[in-house]
């Protein structure tokens, strides 16, 4: 290595890849992240897609980004601000300037920094870095377009095909800077394009050209060393939340000895759950892409009636459309799992941005008294566990369960230790066994769960549907019966609390401030609390995964802290729910509705303010 090469050793580093939605930034970021996981770094990723399907090229609205933070210690967020930005055009610099760490490094395609592209990005001058006040940043201009054309000049490709390979040049260069293994990336390219040998050779050539450029230009491209993290021994893979959700459902079906059926309608950012399960016909999975959201859940209810592990997936607007049919599954008391990958709203809202604004809809968004169990996953990898437990609760308690994730979890990824099926809890569906004593709404005395009988079981014929029934399954308009059945359905959900672990506190068990969160905010909240505790503040975290019913010890935990602040990516829905369920406490709020996760910095500022008051 040249003596002029600057080597920087870091415990953790965040890189942001950014360009037009057609520049392949998501693939570039994913390959870099997977390679980092392979050499033992812990990591967290944040893909950031534009909401428009195809915004005008070169505009800020069309910028697609992918941020990954990796390090030598436990990484719980993709990072507030990037150490390194890889920008394929001026719009990418403009869109990401607020997310850069002061003094960071900007690698940019100098070929794209033209007057025409400055205008598209709405710069008012021909000095974009000066205009964005980025003069003090370390900038590395690289003629990525020119060098990609030069690398492929003998391949006989058209200009459009050549430009599609620019992302591989950027990937090769950044891989050299961070000493990532090239063999994994090369194998991926060979597999992905194995039916197109010319494409394989072109991408490999450009990838290696990017690596060689970094090595040849050592005087201007620093190298970073990020050592492997110390992690528990086991077999790991990088996984995102949507794939983890699908696999958790597959594991539950195997443990329950049932076939799995998913009836769904494609909707961003939940579509990958449908795609992942549709790919597993080898495991007996049945998927149905419905013509709309209502048909998706209606087919799922039919599958639940027929004896399958029945699942439907959606995002916020789709949850609204499914609400009436979800009420039918409440009335029929059928086991069903509804996965809601939340996005910004209301209405169509921000399809590719994250939010936590569907909580009250999940809890109360149906006509009549229609309680369901509501769970929320915290990290991309634990989507697997909560999908599994959602199915376990549905099948053992004969109740619909809503599993809440969000766009940040669904698209984000992290290393996941692959569990052994033998270590997963057993699942025992409440399948009816005695035809002579069977009554459709006879219940287990402890859980109030009814038995599950489905077509083809001789002697178990019964009526079921959306009209109120009596114990025998006969339609009933009796006021006393309706009162009793409404109370029983609510009590049945409350009794699921015996399957809910106690609320745990991260940090001291008592103190000055308890930070409360739920779902996908966990990583940022944990990091912020850890930072506050390093400054000797008595701050702890209580994070909720079980929303309805909540853990039994919530009141006890809350009572041990002087102040409570509820942090969520909405206008205060969980805080309102806590005021209803645990009214003895005063709840401060910290809310953000920008289509973005919290940053650790803004959380710490809020906590400091609350401690000073």
Parallel/antiparallel/unpaired status of strands 309-314 and 373-376: unpaired
Parallel/antiparallel/unpaired status of strands 236-240 and 413-417: antiparallel
Query: 370, 396, 423 — which closes off a domain?
Result: 423
Non-local CB neighbours of 126 within 8 Å, separated by 6+ positions: 115, 118
- CATH classification of the domain holding 291: 3.40.50.970
Does 451 fall in a domain?
A: no
Does 477 fall in a domain?
A: no
**338-383 tens-digit pLDDT:** 999 999 999 999 999 999 999 999 999 999 999 999 999 999 999 9
Does 442 fall in a domain?
A: no
Q: Is 268 in the same domain as 205?
A: no
Q: Is 148 in the same domain as 91?
A: yes
Q: Is 407 in the same domain as 528?
A: no
Closest CA to 394 of 350, 476, 335: 335
| Distances, alpha carbon 164 to alpha carbons 158, 160, 343, in Å | 10, 6, 30
The predicted structure's pLDDT at residue 5? 55
Which helix H or strand E contains 105, and what residues bound it? strand 100-109
The pTM of this model reads 0.94
Contact 489, 371 (CB under 8 A): yes
Whether 418 has a pLDDT exceeding 60, the answer reads yes
Which residue segment(s) compose the domain that 162 sits in?
7-225
Q: Is 197 in the same domain as 242?
A: no
Does 215 fall in a domain?
A: yes
**38-73 tens-digit pLDDT:** 889 999 999 998 877 777 889 999 999 999 999 998
**553-612 tens-digit pLDDT:** 999 999 999 999 999 999 999 999 999 999 999 999 999 999 999 999 999 999 999 999
- CATH classification of the domain holding 566: 3.40.50.920
- CATH classification of the domain holding 16: 3.40.920.10
Does 407 fall in a domain?
A: yes
Q: Is 246 in the same domain as 213?
A: no
**252-263 tens-digit pLDDT:** 999 999 999 999
The predicted structure's pLDDT at residue 6? 64
Q: What's the CA gap between 528 and 508, in Å, rounded?
A: 15
**439-451 tens-digit pLDDT:** 998 999 999 999 9
Q: What's the CA gap between 361 and 330, in Å, rounded?
A: 15
Non-local CB neighbours of 173 within 8 Å, separated by 6+ positions: 107, 142, 210, 211, 213, 214, 221
Task: Give me the residues paired with residue 69 across strands.
Answer: 14, 44
Q: Is 161 in the same domain as 53?
A: yes
Determine what percent of the chain falls in helix, strand and coil, rounding each to the nearest 5.
40, 20, 40
Does 440 fall in a domain?
A: no
The predicted structure's pLDDT at residue 54? 73
Q: What's the CA gap between 509 and 298, in Å, rounded?
A: 46
**83-128 tens-digit pLDDT:** 999 999 999 999 999 999 998 999 999 999 999 999 999 999 999 9
Query: 225, 245, 279 — which closes off a domain?
Result: 225
**189-231 tens-digit pLDDT:** 999 999 999 999 999 999 999 999 998 887 676 677 888 887 7
Q: Is 410 in the same domain as 545?
A: no
**169-189 tens-digit pLDDT:** 999 999 999 999 899 999 999
Domain tally, the chain: 3
Q: Is 110 in the same domain as 175?
A: yes
Non-local CB neighbours of 422 within 8 Å, separated by 6+ positions: none
Contacts 24+ apart (CB under 8 A), 425-429: 425/255, 425/388, 425/392, 426/255, 427/252, 427/255, 427/256, 427/391, 427/392, 427/395, 427/396, 428/256, 428/395, 428/396, 429/256, 429/258, 429/335, 429/395, 429/396
Query: 190, 225, 260 — which closes off a domain?
Result: 225
Q: Is 280 in the same domain as 383?
A: yes
Q: Is 219 in the same domain as 283?
A: no
Q: Is 550 in the same domain as 408?
A: no
Q: Is 132 in the same domain as 165?
A: yes
**292-348 tens-digit pLDDT:** 999 999 999 999 999 999 999 999 999 999 999 999 999 999 999 999 999 999 999
Whether 166 has a pLDDT exceeding 90, the answer reads yes
Does 459 fall in a domain?
A: no
- How many residues are given for the chain? 613
Indicate the DSSP class of residue 16. Answer: E
Percent of the residues in the chain that have a pLDDT greater than 70, as a whole number: 98
Token pair of 442 as six digits: 């006879």
The predicted structure's pLDDT at residue 3? 44
Does 73 fall in a domain?
A: yes
């Amino acid at each position: 290595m040249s003596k002029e090469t600057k080597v920087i050793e870091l415990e953790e580093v965040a890189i942001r890849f950014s360009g037009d939605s057609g520049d392949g930034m998501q693939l570039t970021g994913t390959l870099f992240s997977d390679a980092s996981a392979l050499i033992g770094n812990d990591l967290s990723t944040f893909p950031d897609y534009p909401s428009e399907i195809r915004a005008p090229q070169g505009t800020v609205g069309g910028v697609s980004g992918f941020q990954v933070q990796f390090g030598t210690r436990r990484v719980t967020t993709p990072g507030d601000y990037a150490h390194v930005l890889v920008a394929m055009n001026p719009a990418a610099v403009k869109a990401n300037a607020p997310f850069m760490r002061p003094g960071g490094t900007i690698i940019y395609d100098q070929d794209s920094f033209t007057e025409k592209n400055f205008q598209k990005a709405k710069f008012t001058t021909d000095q974009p870095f000066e205009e964005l006040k980025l003069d003090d940043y370390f900038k590395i201009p690289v003629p990525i377009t020119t060098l990609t054309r030069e690398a492929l000049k003998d391949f006989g490709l058209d200009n459009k095909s050549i430009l599609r390979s620019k992302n591989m040049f950027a990937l090769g260069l950044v891989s050299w800077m961070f000493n990532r293994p090239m063999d994994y990336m090369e194998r991926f390219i060979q597999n992905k394009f194995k039916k197109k040998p010319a494409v394989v050779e072109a991408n490999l050539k450009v990838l290696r050209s990017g690596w060689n450029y970094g090595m040849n230009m050592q005087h201007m491209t620093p190298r970073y060393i990020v050592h492997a993290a110390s992690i528990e021994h086991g077999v790991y893979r990088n996984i995102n939340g949507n794939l983890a959700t699908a696999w958790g459902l597959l594991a539950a079906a195997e443990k329950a000895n049932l076939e799995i059926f998913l009836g769904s309608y494609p909707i961003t950012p939940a579509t990958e759950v449908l795609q992942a399960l549709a790919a597993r016909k080898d495991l007996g999975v049945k998927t149905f892409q419905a013509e709309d959201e209502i048909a998706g859940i209606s087919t799922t209810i039919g599958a639940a009636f027929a004896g399958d592990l029945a699942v439907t997936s959606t995002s916020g607007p789709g949850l609204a459309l499914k609400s009436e049919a979800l009420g039918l599954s409440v009335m029929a008391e059928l086991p069903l799992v509804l996965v809601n990958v939340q996005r910004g709203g209301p209405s169509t809202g921000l399809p590719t941005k994250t939010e936590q604004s569907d909580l009250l809809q999940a809890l109360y968004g149906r006509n009549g008294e229609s309680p369901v169990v509501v769970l929320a996953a915290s990290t991309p990898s634990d989507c697997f566990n909560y999908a599994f437990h959602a199915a376990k609760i549905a099948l053992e308690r004969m109740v619909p369960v809503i599993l809440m994730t969000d766009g940040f979890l669904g698209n984000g990824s992290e290393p996941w230790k692959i569990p052994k099926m033998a270590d997963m809890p057993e699942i025992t569906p409440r399948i009816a066994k005695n035809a002579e004593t069977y009554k459709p709404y006879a219940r287990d005395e402890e859980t109030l769960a009814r038995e599950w009988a489905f077509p083809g079981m001789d002697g178990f014929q019964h009526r079921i549907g959306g009209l109120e029934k009596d114990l025998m399954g006969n339609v009933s308009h009796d006021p006393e019966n309706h009162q009793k059945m409404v109370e029983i359905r609510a009590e049945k959900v409350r009794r699921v609390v015996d399957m809910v672990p106690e609320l745990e506190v991260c940090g001291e068990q008592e103190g000055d401030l308890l930070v409360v969160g739920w779902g996908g905010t966990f990583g940022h909240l944990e990091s912020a609390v850890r930072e506050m505790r390093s400054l000797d503040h008595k701050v702890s975290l209580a994070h909720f995964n079980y929303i309805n019913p909540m853990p039994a010890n919530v009141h006890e935990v809350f009572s041990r802290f002087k102040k409570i602040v509820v942090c969520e990516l909405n206008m205060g829905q969980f805080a309102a729910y806590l005021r209803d369920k645990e009214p003895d406490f005063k709840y401060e709020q910290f809310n953000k509705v920008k289509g973005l996760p919290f940053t650790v910095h803004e959380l710490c500022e809020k906590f400091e303010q609350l401690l000073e008051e």
